[in-house]
Amino acid sequence: MTNDCITIALPKGKLFGLSADLLKKVGFTAEGLSEKSRKLVIENEDARLKFIITKTADVPTYVEYGAADLGIIGKDVILESGKDVYELLDLGFGKCRLMMAVPKDKKRARLEDYSNTRVATKFPHTAEKFFESRGMQMEYIKLNGSIELGPIIGLSESIVDIVETGTTLRENNLEEIVTITEATARLIANRVSYKLKFDRINNLVENLRKELDKG
């Protein structure tokens, strides 16, 4: 492979299919790039492309260290990671919001009434920034999934988590009390790769932009 080979990190899970479909439309694809594949590295030598399939939360890490030149990942994950990556394009899909929710039947009158209580979350850094901006001290309990379980079984008074359709909240009798931030999928780049492979990356960004404009 020549030096301008591009490595792209794609997250397993909800964003994978949408990301792979969009990239395919602009000619960035590889044989066997599918959600069902268990392969972690998929190459297309003719197109000088390499895809790596990672855990969602790890995409910014691969990109920051330059193990991947580019990545596709939610803004929520970028914020939480605190990684120094270059955000090239808002892809529009994967729309969701990070919010605080509490059990409906134990709802307190004001946000401040939750000061010094426990909050279960996959996003402790973003949550802490938010609560500190409101002058609130909280105890953060880091969970890795099924966050909604926290207040149901008494591990915490509230959660800070992602909502997409609202189904998970509804089915678990939780109610959103404040939105922290909205998020969509972003194309991110390693800062050095962006300079060294500027022509190819910029061309990709332009083609993606055209594709997104088609709606």
Q: Which residues lie near ligand PRP (CB under 6 A)?
A: 145-148, 161-168
**Closer Cβ to ligand PRP, 136 or 149, answer by number:** 149
The string of DSSP letters for 86-129 reads EEEEE---S-EEEEEEEEGGG--SSGGGGTT-EEEES-HHHHHH
71 strand-pairing partners: 9, 188
| Residue 65 beta carbon to ligand PRP: minimum distance, rounded to whole angstroms | 24
Closer by beta carbon to ligand PRP, 145 or else 215: 145
- Nearer residue to ligand PRP within complex by CB, 149 or 205: 149
β-pairing, 118-121 vs 70-74, is unpaired
CB of 172 to ligand PRP, least distance (A): 9
Closest approach, Cβ 171 to ligand PRP, in A, equals 8
CB of 156 to ligand PRP, least distance (A): 14
Q: Which is nearer to ligand PRP, 77 or 204 (CB)?
A: 77
Of 5, 9, 14, nearest to 53 by C-alpha is 9
For 122, list phi and psi in degrees, rounded to 5.
-90, -5
Could you tell me which residues come within 8 angstroms of residue 200 by beta carbon, excluding any fewer than 6 positions away? 4, 6
